[in-house]
Structure 1
Amino acid sequence: MAKKIFIASTGQNSGKTTTSLSLMFLARKKYGRIGFIKPLGPKPSTYNGLAMDKDAALMAGVFGLDGDIEYMSPVVLYPDSTRKVLDGEIRSEVLLDKIRQATAELEKRCDFLVLEGSGHSGVGSVIGMNNAKIAKTMQAPVMIIAGGGIGNTIDSVSLNLALFRQEQVAVKMVLLNKLIPAKRESSLHYLRRAFAGESFRVDGGFNYTPVLANPTLGRISKILGCPLSGDVREVLRIAHHVQLGAASAQRVADLLEDSSLLLVNSSRDELLVMLASLYNLPEYRRKIAGLVIPGLAPVSKITQKILADSNIPYIRTEITNAEAFTRITSDVSKITVDDREKIDLIRTLADTEIDFEAIDALL
């Protein structure tokens, strides 16, 4: 029988996938056969011709699990799935049975199995398949991923615990993620005090890391729905800062930070020309990740030629500067199989920031 753990969280974008990747890397060092399952997949995609959740596709690609893909994402949700369940066209009992069967098959194939939930613990309740019920169906102990604060984190963990207790599912650990390094020990101290009477362990996960949190140019291209032009080989470059090019050209240059993405309106010829020129200077190549050029006004022919000759990566969109800025800054960057820098960093950090032996001993 495989050891298994269900990764839940207090909310979206808490670091479930990062934690799952970490556990997979660490388990692979100790166990011969590792596996992954996303029982309820709200982000449909296609992998090797098979419909499956994006997180399951990521794990299959990173860990070479192609032989298991038919079991890794047993239930994929589409825009009309909720309606079909509520209308009785699809029965939640049937979906839960698919999850049960897929889990049983992977348990035969694996020594260690990571099960990743969706959103906070109540997600899926509308179709009778929240995370607590799924964890019970899979007969899996739970790890809850929470933020690195104190008051809000204690409140959120307590709220999510109630649902697992209602389903009589064992919560074995609360893992604090995206911790501020200077506050790491303090946060852990107070969370452990708050839950001192509980049977689960409270431990620290990853510190907040900009490389993991910030988007690549390829991700920004998808957010805006427009192609990357210029040097498309920079598609995986990470933009650590987003800067509105609204000031004078000199002021914008003075404010450049490491690996900045600049949003420059299509009518700002002088600024576009300056940035294109600076891009080919080594000291500025490090600072300029690329451009987003919003606006309905066409870019002038001479400016367009200078942009093309400089090979600076840029994304042209007709939405407004404000809309582009809002879309980019409100997005949470999701890891894909092509994000090698992020995946390699996770593998490295997992060794120092995740206590796998402590987790393994709880299962």
Structure 2
Amino acid sequence: MAIKLYIPSTQNFSGKSAICVALMHRLQKDGFKVGYLKPFSSAARVLAKSSIDEDARFVKEAFKLPESLDTLAPVVLTQQQMEHVLTTEESDYRDMVKQAADTAAQGKDIVVMEGSNNFREGYIVHLSPPETVELLDARVVTVIGYQDDLQTVDDALMAQKRMGDRMVGVIINSVPRNRLDFVSKKVQPYLLKQDVPVLAVLPHERVLGAISVSDIVEAIGGELLCGDCGDELVENVMVSAMNVEHALNYFRRVTNKAVIVGGDRPDIQLAALETSTKALILTGNVRPNPMIEAKAAERGVAIILGPDDTFTTVEKVERFFGKTRIRQMEKVTLFEELLSKSMDFDQLYRAIGLK
């Protein structure tokens, strides 16, 4: 019988998806047959009459899983479906999840189950983290995204209270480098005394919070005016300088960036193209002149045509930045390296009964 490992996080954007994918890669390398399931999703993209969980789709493609998306993410709760739950007799979503889990486990040694984004999700359909692990008889590793020292300790203790003996440990992710020593030498031993093993302490890496050019296009409702550049990763965002005389020095301060600039400012756009720039985000729905398009193509820089003014575009990008999921293989590779350096996999395998 396949072992089921449920991996929730205590808050949104903690790196849960990245850890699931990196762990699946490692398990495969260690010779195990690995399946995937996302029992409950509240982050769906609606296409026509169907709802798609993008994390499940990425994992299906990356690992070439034969199961359908409906099996890998059996309960994808949209606003419309929530209204249906509130106004009609309750459907038994638990049976759907149980059947999907049985299908995902066929021929596998372990099923990595991507859990909820926080411990408040899923109660409306009886698929909260505690209810799900009981339903599927799963072991638990909880991901804690570091915000500060106190929050990290409290989140770990809260997860233990919610999950009980099913939780085999926590992973503390995205710790600033100036707090790594404290978390490793103070927080980790304290939590172990409270019967909460810390399986890994992972440092903050800026590139893991980077967003792709395609992500930016989606965030601002824009149009991509380049060829095959949607997967390029943007680590920083700058708003254009007002004074062209100072623009070049200003843009040289930051690398791997997207520059938000008025579509009617080719002088500023040209200055940005002379520095380490991944994308030009042109505001005001003004298309670039042919010289800018040619220069961008020559340097492999994406041009994104945005429909809004500069202020609105900045707001949209800032809300999105650092909050994307792991859907680029460059991120997967880096995260797998971090996990391999920090985690005692033999300890994890023993704890979940995988031998």
Instruction: Tell me if TM exceeds 0.5.
Output: yes
> Partner amino acid for 1:214?
A
TM-score by length of 2: 0.88
CA contact (8 A) 2:22 2:332 kept: no
Matches within 5 A, 1:283-298: 284=275, 287-295=276-284, 298=286
CA distance in structure 2 between the aligned counterparts of 1:57 and 1:305, rounded to whole angstroms? 37
Q: 1:316 to 1:70 in 2, by over 3 A?
A: closer
Alignment match of 1:173 (pick from 163, 169, 176): 169
Q: Which residue is equivalent to 2:25?
A: 25
Tell which deviates more after alignment, 13-22 or 103-112: 103-112
Tell which deviates more after alignment, 248-257 or 347-356: 347-356
Q: Which residue is equivalent to 1:55?
A: 55
- Residue 110 of structure 2 corresponds to residue 112 of structure 1: yes
Residue 248 (structure 1) shift: 1.6
Instruction: Determine helix, strand or coil for the equivalent of 1:9.
Output: coil
CA distance in structure 2 between the aligned counterparts of 1:11 and 1:57, rounded to whole angstroms? 22
Q: 1:263 to 1:191 in 2, by over 3 A?
A: same
Q: Deviations over 1:292-313 (max 9, x none)?
A: 11126x45xxx61222222242
Q: Which residue is equivalent to 1:74?
A: 74
CA contact (8 A) 2:221 2:307 kept: no
Instruction: Determine helix, strand or coil for the equivalent of 1:314.
Output: strand
Count of equivalent residues: 342
Moved over 6 A (4+): none
CA contact (8 A) 1:144 1:171 kept: yes
Alignment match of 1:245 (pick from 240, 258, 265): 240
Alignment match of 2:325 (pick from 320, 323, 334): 334
Q: Which residue is equivalent to 1:348?
A: 337
Q: Which residue is equivalent to 2:212?
A: 216
Residue 79 (structure 1) shift: 1.7
CA distance in structure 1 between the aligned counterparts of 2:201 and 2:104, rounded to whole angstroms? 26
Q: Which residue is equivalent to 1:164?
A: 163
TM-score by length of 1: 0.86
Matches within 5 A, 1:250-269: 250-256=245-251, 257-269=254-266
CA distance in structure 1 between the aligned counterparts of 2:50 and 2:63, rounded to whole angstroms? 17
Residue 318 (structure 1) shift: 2.7
Residue 52 (structure 1) shift: 4.4
Residue 51 (structure 1) shift: 5.4
CA distance in structure 1 between the aligned counterparts of 2:111 and 2:17, rounded to whole angstroms? 14
Residue 80 (structure 1) shift: 1.5
Alignment match of 1:316 (pick from 302, 305, 314): 305
Instruction: Determine helix, strand or coil for the equivalent of 1:323.
Output: helix
Instruction: Determine helix, strand or coil for the equivalent of 2:222.
Output: coil
Q: 1:232 to 1:250 in 2, by over 3 A?
A: farther
Residue 144 (structure 1) shift: 1.0
Q: Which residue is equivalent to 2:195?
A: 199
CA contact (8 A) 2:192 2:198 kept: no
CA contact (8 A) 2:257 2:278 kept: yes
Tell which deviates more after alignment, 3-12 or 62-71: 62-71
> Partner amino acid for 1:120?
N
Q: Deviations over 1:53-86 (max 9, x none)?
A: 2221111111111246553112121222222222
Alignment match of 2:185 (pick from 182, 186, 189): 189
> Partner amino acid for 1:304?
N
CA distance in structure 2 between the aligned counterparts of 1:187 and 1:247, rounded to whole angstroms? 43
> Partner amino acid for 2:90?
I
CA distance in structure 1 between the aligned counterparts of 2:163 and 2:171, rounded to whole angstroms? 16
Residue 97 (structure 1) shift: 1.4
> Partner amino acid for 1:181?
R
Q: Deviations over 1:181-233 (max 9, x none)?
A: 3422311333234424333311324321122111111111111111211x332
CA contact (8 A) 1:82 1:127 kept: no
Q: Which residue is equivalent to 2:227?
A: 232
| Structure 2 unpaired stretches of 5+ | none
Tell which deviates more after alignment, 16-25 or 234-243: 234-243
CA contact (8 A) 1:188 1:203 kept: no
> Partner amino acid for 2:237?
V
Q: 1:266 to 1:107 in 2, by over 3 A?
A: closer
CA contact (8 A) 1:188 1:204 kept: no
Q: Which residue is equivalent to 1:306?
A: 291
CA distance in structure 2 between the aligned counterparts of 1:61 and 1:355, rounded to whole angstroms? 28
What is the percent sequence identity of the aligned residues?
A: 18
Q: 1:31 to 1:346 in 2, by over 3 A?
A: same
- Which structure shows the bigger proportion of residues in strand conformation? 2
Q: 1:325 to 1:75 in 2, by over 3 A?
A: same
Q: 1:175 to 1:328 in 2, by over 3 A?
A: same
